[in-house]
Structures are given as C-alpha cells and as structure tokens.
C-alpha cells in the first residue's frame, strides 16, 4: 500500500510517502528561523508558510520516493491537535487530493502518531516501521506544546495517563532560555551549554515529582528560575555560570520526566518505555532514560532523532496501520480538530 501523508499542525510543513511500512521519503520544511524573530510560533505566519511550502514539499516527497500520484492508494493528514489555520492547510489539501484521486482519506491524531514513531527504525539507509516486535509500553511525548504519558496496551489501543497542567517541558526549556536571553527555541542551546555546566550548581524545584498522578507542571520551575535570575543578575555576564544554570534547569526537568515515566511503567506493569517529541532530542534526557530503564530491566525505544520533531512519516505509518486494521474512515468533508485530546 502506498500513501501520501501531510503534517502541518504547527511550524513544520512535512510530506512523506510511505509504502508497506517503509518510509520512501520524508521531507520537512521547518519554519523555525521565521518564528525565531518573534520569540515563538506566530499562528497566522505559520499558516501562510504552509500555504507557500506545501506543494513544493509534496512534489519533492513524491520525486524523492520515485512515486507518481497515480500510484497512491490513500492520502493521510494530521487532523489535530494543532494550530487551526495551520492544520487547515494540510488537512484540506489532503482531502482534496484524496477526492481528486478517488482514494481513501485518513485523518490522524498527531499525538497518536507520536506514540508509534519510536517503532520506526533505521534499516540500512531507510526508515522502516517494525511492529512485529511491538510490546505494551508507556509512551512519553515531550514537545514544545505537550508533555504526556500514555499507556499503549496494544497496537492502536491506548489510554492517556497524564499530561501537563500548565507549561510543557519544551516550553519550560524555551521560556527559561528566554530569561537567560537565549534565542528561540532555547531547548537545543540549553542542551549544548548544559554539557559544560554543573547540574548541582543551583537547586531548582522538581514539580509534581512526588505527586501520585502522572501529570506534569513546569510553570513553577520557570518562575523559580525567573526569581533566581532577578536576584542574581550578574550571573548572566558569566559564561560558566550560564552553563551551570542551564545544567541545573535541565537536570530538574529531566529528573521529573524520567522518574515519572519509569514509575508509570512499573505501576502499569509494562516492560517497555518509548519516547518521542522535540525534547526527546535532549541528550541528558536520552542518557538518563537509558540509564533508568537499564536499572529497572525495562526495554527503551527512543524515536530516531529525525522523527522526534514533527514529521509526516509518522502520520503516514499510523495511517497505513489504520487502513490495514480496517478502522472506519472519516467522510471527506470532515473538519479539523484543533483541540483533539487523546483519549
Ligand atoms: O516536537 P517539536 O518540534 O514541536 C512542537 O512542540 O511543535 O518540539 C519542539 C520543542 C521546542 O520546545 C524545543 O526547544 C525542544 O523541542 N527541543 C529541545 C531539544 N531539541 C528540541 N529541548 C531540549 N533539548 C533539545 N536538544
Ligand atoms: Zn509533535
């Protein structure tokens, strides 16, 4: 089965061609530079950029895959959650393509796609979804907009365990970075600077670490960094101190993410943990999750770095699984679901 998949939920215009579990092509056009000027994603600009980029990115994905539109068996797109106008661009284009080709259309929940992205692995020079080795797992999704723990009992069956009640982990990286005058998005830079810093230099709170729920909260941590910088303004003139600050903030975020994920896995009796979303690129998080899982004898699957951030390949892979499982498809005039919460 050959599918064209489109992802435009936020600031990445991405199109992929997927065939029989294999990612034939996955093109991502990032808008990070455009939004950096404004210190965050500007929804209206994002939608306009998607409009500008979608057709060239789709053409490039088809060309790279060596597939013509006549060879497509289905078209898929992210239906939600995401920025309404951004979602509309990819979703309506995909529906129109499915209509014109008279092929099935699959609307995908962006977070559900993240749940299965860690099962897409590098085989030779391509990415292939391998569900033959699927294990029930607890999946951590950590991005700029979301932090959540989901129990994935079997393929296409999951239950939300907890989410963030305020800022997402990526947002916490970005906002604390902004307090340190780092450019947006600060997450990758904090990751780099933290390498040269001492994580025990400053003590920041680990919000909800000992709370019984699987929920997260990071706004208190951000506020405590704000007060700390207010009280020690000279610190920002010292590169070593900035590195210490980055390492101290990062260790607090990572500790909460890792401990709560492992605890959720143990409580739910699963022997596998997966992680995806932009923050999964963070080296300390990858390292600490690996260490904790080894300690507990839990299998760990981290999404491939190129699939951590938003991409259409994961949308296409999930859409294909849904088609193979004969999941009922939405009608072609179905609308986007910007606030679609994972059940
Ligand atoms: O999944 P993603 O591309 O998308 C959205 O939420 O839209 O994630 C982006 C987030 C940003 O907050 C960024 O700062 C964070 O992921 N991020 C990182 C790293 N790379 C990306 N945070 C910490 N360390 C990193 N290496
Ligand atoms: Zn995402």
Tell me the pLDDT tens digit for each residue of 119-139. Answer: 999 988 899 999 999 999 999
Which tokens is 316 given?
A: 């296409």
Cα-to-centroid distance, 47 and ligand 1 (Å): 20
User: Nearest residue CA, atom 8 of ligand 1?
Assistant: 278
* CA 34 – ligand 2 centroid, Å: 19
Using an 8 Å Cβ cutoff, are 169 and 142 in contact?
A: yes
Tracing tokens 């230099």 back to the chain, one arrives at 201
- pLDDT below 70 — which residues of the chain? none
| 213-244 pLDDT per residue, tens | 999 999 999 999 999 999 999 999 999 999 99
pLDDT at 124 (0 to 100): 85
pLDDT for the residue numbered 330: 86
Per DSSP, the three-state class of 262 is helix
Closest to 261 in 3D by CA, of 134, 162, 113, 170: 162
Tell which one of 29, 34, 257, 278 to mutate to probe ligand 1, the residue whose CB is within 8 A of the most ligand atoms. Answer: 278
pLDDT of residue 125: 87
pLDDT in the model for residue 180 = 96
Q: Which residues line ligand 1 (CB under 6 A)?
A: 10, 143-145, 170, 173-174, 185-188, 191, 277-279, 281-282, 309-310
SS3 154: strand
Query: Residue 81 has what pLDDT?
Result: 97
Chain-centroid distance, C-alpha 223:
24
Distance 135 CA to ligand 2 centre (A): 22
What is the 111 CA–ligand 2 centroid distance (Å)? 7
By alpha-carbon position, which residue is closest to atom 5 of ligand 1?
144
Would you state the pLDDT for residue 123? 87
pLDDT of residue 185: 94
Q: How far is CA 244 from the centre of its chain?
A: 27
Q: Where are the beta strands (DSSP E) in 209-342?
A: 272-276, 299-302
Whether the upstream peptide bond of residue 81 has omega within 30° of 0, thus cis, is yes
Looking at the DSSP assignment, which residues form a beta bridge with residue 22? 19, 128
**Which residue has its alpha carbon closest to ligand 1 atom 20?**
188
Return d(Cα 171, Cα 279) in angstroms, integer. 10
Choose which residue among 28, 34, 143 to substitute to test ligand 1 binding: the one with the highest number of ligand atoms within 8 A of its C-beta: 143
DSSP β-ladder status, 12-19 and 2-7: antiparallel
pLDDT for residue 40: 87
User: Mutation test of ligand 1: which of 173, 280, 338 has the most ligand atoms closer than 8 Å to its C-beta?
Assistant: 173
Pocket of ligand 1, candidates 86, 114, 187, 250: which has the most ligand atoms within 8 Å of its Cβ, to mutate? 187
CA–centroid distance, residue 309 to ligand 2 (Å): 6
- Contact criterion met (CB below 8 Å) for 261 and 277: no
DSSP E strands, the chain: 2-7, 12-19, 22-30, 74-80, 105-109, 120-123, 126-129, 137-142, 147-154, 157-163, 272-276, 299-302
């Amino acid at each position: 089965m050959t599918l064209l998949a489109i992802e435009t939920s936020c600031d990445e215009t991405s199109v992929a061609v997927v065939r029989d579990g294999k990612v034939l092509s996955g093109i991502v056009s990032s808008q990070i530079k455009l939004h950096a000027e404004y210190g965050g994603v500007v929804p209206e600009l994002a939608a306009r950029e998607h409009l500008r980029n979608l057709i060239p990115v789709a053409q490039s994905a088809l060309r790279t895959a060596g597939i013509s539109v006549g060879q497509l068996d289905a078209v898929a797109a992210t239906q939600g959650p995401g920025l309404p106008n951004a979602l509309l661009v990819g979703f309506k284009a995909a529906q129109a393509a499915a209509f014109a080709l008279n092929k099935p259309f699959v609307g995908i929940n962006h977070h559900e796609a993240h749940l299965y992205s860690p099962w897409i692995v590098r085989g030779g020079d391509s990415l292939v979804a391998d569900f033959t080795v699927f294990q029930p797992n607890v999946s951590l999704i950590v991005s700029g907009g979301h932090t959540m723990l989901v129990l994935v009992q079997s393929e296409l069956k999951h239950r939300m365990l907890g989410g963030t009640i305020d800022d997402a982990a990526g947002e916490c990286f970005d906002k604390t970075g902004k307090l340190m005058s780092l450019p947006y998005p600060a997450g990758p830079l904090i990751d780099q600077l933290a390498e040269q810093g001492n994580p025990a230099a400053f003590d920041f709170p680990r919000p909800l670490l000992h709370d019984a729920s699987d929920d997260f909260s990071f706004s208190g941590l951000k506020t405590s960094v704000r007060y700390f910088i207010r009280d020690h303004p000279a610190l920002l003139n010292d590169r070593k101190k900035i590195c210490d600050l980055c390492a101290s903030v990062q260790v607090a975020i990572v500790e909460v993410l890792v401990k709560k994920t492992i605890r959720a896995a143990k409580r739910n009796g699963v022997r596998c943990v997966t992680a995806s979303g932009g923050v999964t690129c963070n080296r300390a998080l990858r390292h600490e999750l690996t260490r904790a899982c080894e300690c507990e004898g839990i299998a760990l699957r981290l999404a491939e770095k190129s699939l951590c951030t938003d991409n259409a390949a994961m949308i296409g892979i999930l859409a294909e699984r849904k088609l193979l499982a004969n999941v009922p498809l939405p009608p072609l005039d179905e609308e986007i679901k910007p606030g679609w919460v994972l059940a």
